[in-house]
Amino acid sequence: MGAIPHTSRPGEVAAAARTSAQRDEPEQAPPWRPEDGPQPDMSVWPYSGRPALSVRIGARWIYAPVTARADYEDGRIAYHVTIVLPEPLSGGQLGAFHRAYWWPQAGRLKVAHGPQVPPIPGRGNTAA
C-alpha cells in the first residue's frame, strides 16, 4: 500500500501517491473512516516535551516531532508528526507538513528521542 493523502478526490490521491513514491517516503497511514472499523485510541502530547521520530525520505533522515499516536484495535500503531521537508524533497513547497506514518518501519523510521512528559490519552477521534 502506497502513501494515501488526506483527500478523497481520486486524481489527487493518484498524484500524491506518485509524489510520495518519488520521494521514497515511509508508508503513510490514511485518515480513519467509519468503514475502517472502530476509531483508534488517540494520545496527544503538548507542544513542549513531545517525542520525535527520525524519518528517512530519500537518502536523508529528517527530524519530525510527534503530535499524536493512534492505537488501532487490531494492534496497528500510527504516529502523527510535523515534518519540514527540504525544498528538493517538497516539490518546491515550503513549510511544515502533517504526516501519519505506520509504526514500525525498519530502516525508514526511528526514535529521535522519547517524550519529556506523558501523553494525554483519549478514546477515539473527537472530531465531528
Query: Whose CA is closest to 58, among 29, 81, 87?
Result: 87
Question: Residue type for 89, please?
Answer: L
Is residue 14 situated within a structural domain? no
Is residue 68 situated within a structural domain? yes
Identify whether the C-beta of residue 66 lies closer than 8 Å to the C-beta of residue 98: no
Identify whether the C-beta of residue 40 lies closer than 8 Å to the C-beta of residue 32: yes
Arithmetic mean of pLDDT, 37-46: 94
Q: What is the pLDDT of residue 21?
A: 52
Is residue 18 situated within a structural domain? no
Residue 39 pLDDT > 90, yes or no? yes
Is residue 88 situated within a structural domain? yes
Identify whether the C-beta of residue 26 lies closer than 8 Å to the C-beta of residue 98: no
| DSSP reduced 3-state for 118 | coil
Identify whether the C-beta of residue 103 lies closer than 8 Å to the C-beta of residue 78: yes
Is residue 69 situated within a structural domain? yes
Is residue 106 situated within a structural domain? yes
CB neighbour burial string for 38-74, b if at least 16 within 10 angstroms, e if fewer: ebbebbebeeeebbbbebbbeeeebebbbbbbbebee
In sequence order, what are the residues at sequence separation of 6 or more whose Cβ sits closer than 8 angstroms to the Cβ of residue 25? 3, 55, 57, 99
Q: What is the pLDDT of residues 52-96, one digit of tens each?
A: 999 999 889 999 999 999 999 999 999 999 999 877 767 777 788
Residue 5 pLDDT > 90, yes or no? no
Residue 16 pLDDT > 50, yes or no? no
Q: Which domain holds residue 104?
A: 32-121
C-alpha cell at 122: 483519549
Q: Looking at the 3D structure of the chain, how many domains does it have? A: 1
Question: Residue type for 11, please?
Answer: G
Residue 124 binned pLDDT confidence (cut-offs 50, 70, 90): low
